[in-house]
Structure 1
Amino acid sequence: MDETPETVAPETTEQKPEPVEPGPDASVDAWVHYINQKYPRHGVTAPGSHMGRR
């Protein structure tokens, strides 16, 4: 649980590196942080997912 405030900043012009997938023993927070970085929510749920959207 060592999340720094810089990771929550909005999109800037700098390129963010590809997030590294946490290991099987990683905490749920680490996985949520990884998923949110890999698949940013721009009005869309998960890629290819239409759950809850019409």
Structure 2
Amino acid sequence: MNYKLNSMPIQIATEPYLNRRTNDLLITELNDVDDELMGWIKEAAAFSAAK
């Protein structure tokens, strides 16, 4: 992913390879999983599957 998620506080963000990031975030409530986060997860999964 080439961008940061705006609605969630990222705990740890790293770029182990060029244009490949890992992001750790803390989800404490079901309400933390919103449409933006789900879209971000789906996009990340599609990116990973294409590699």
Q: Same fold (TM over 0.5)?
A: no
TM-score, structure 1 length as denominator?
0.32
> Larger strand proportion, structure 1 or 2?
2
Greater C-alpha radius of gyration: 1
> Larger helix proportion, structure 1 or 2?
2
TM-score, structure 2 length as denominator?
0.33
Q: Which has the higher contact order (CA 8 A, sep 6+)?
A: 2
